[in-house]
Amino acid sequence: MAKQVSKKRSKQGVAVVAGVGAPKGLGAALARRFASEGLHVFIAGRTLERLEAIAGAISDAGGLATPVVTDVTLEADVRRLFDLADKKKSLELAVYNVGNNIALPLLETSPETFESLWKQNAFGGFLFGSEAVRRLASRGKGTLIFTGATASLRARPPFVGFASAKAALRAVAQGLAREFGPKGVHVAHVIVDGVIDGDYARGKFAAYVESKGEDGLLEPDAIADAYWTLHRQHDSAWTHELDLRPFKEPF
């Protein structure tokens, strides 16, 4: 008989989600899903008004969410985020969903832009991941998930800066998985291979979104389902890397 899944639904645990912004976006969808499963979700982003609106919607639906304005490139901010979560309950799940994408040809990419992309993706992921595994490893269980992109695997113009940053984040995830998996921490990296149907895409490049046609975008709630499945995996069959794309997306 197969062993039962060891991670049971808990109303005592905490989830931390960094990279929560638009109401219709992946960060918000993750927060809603985790809260619906009984976790107290700490949502981190740069805009208090947006965070409060998402936390309020979660509260109205019967969940628990705490907004925390956080700059993930600052060690003190990231540590404060996890310290606040620790004061409530035990950390069970952490997701690094940060990653600004800037499309620029190489010769138009300034050193400042290149460094900014690296800091938001790889360096922020390192800071966030370090704080998460420090806490999860001490308990011998829990899940840490990083959001990747098509660019995590290949670089092509005009996304060389973004791709180098996402590839570095992937390396951070691999290193953490190899070091802390044996200590009971499930570290996963999710490659989102396509455009997420959210406020950001529809506001920034509406024409491209329109060109994808019906069923051509990834639904945030569907991605959130996959993240929750990763968290619920039995420790005898963990997934480290998962790629998600619409059925119409070529690859």
Spatial separation of the C-alpha atoms in residues 98 and 237, rounded to whole Å:
27
- Other beta carbons within 10 angstroms of residue 197's beta carbon come to 23
Sheet with strand 40-45: strands edge to edge? 64-69, 40-45, 13-18, 90-96, 143-149, 186-192, 241-244
Average pLDDT, the chain: 91
Query: Each residue of 123-136: pLDDT tens digit?
Result: 999 999 999 999 99
Total domains, the chain = 1
In a domain, 227, yes or no: yes
In a domain, 7, yes or no: no
Percent of the chain's residues with pLDDT above 90: 77
In a domain, 6, yes or no: no
Q: What is the pLDDT of residue 9?
A: 46
Longest dimension (CA), the chain: 59
In the numeric block, the tokens 């994408």 are attached to 101
Beta strands in 39-178 (DSSP E): 40-45, 64-69, 90-96, 143-149
pTM as predicted: 0.92
What CATH number corresponds to the domain at position 177? 3.40.50.720
3 state DSSP class of 120? helix
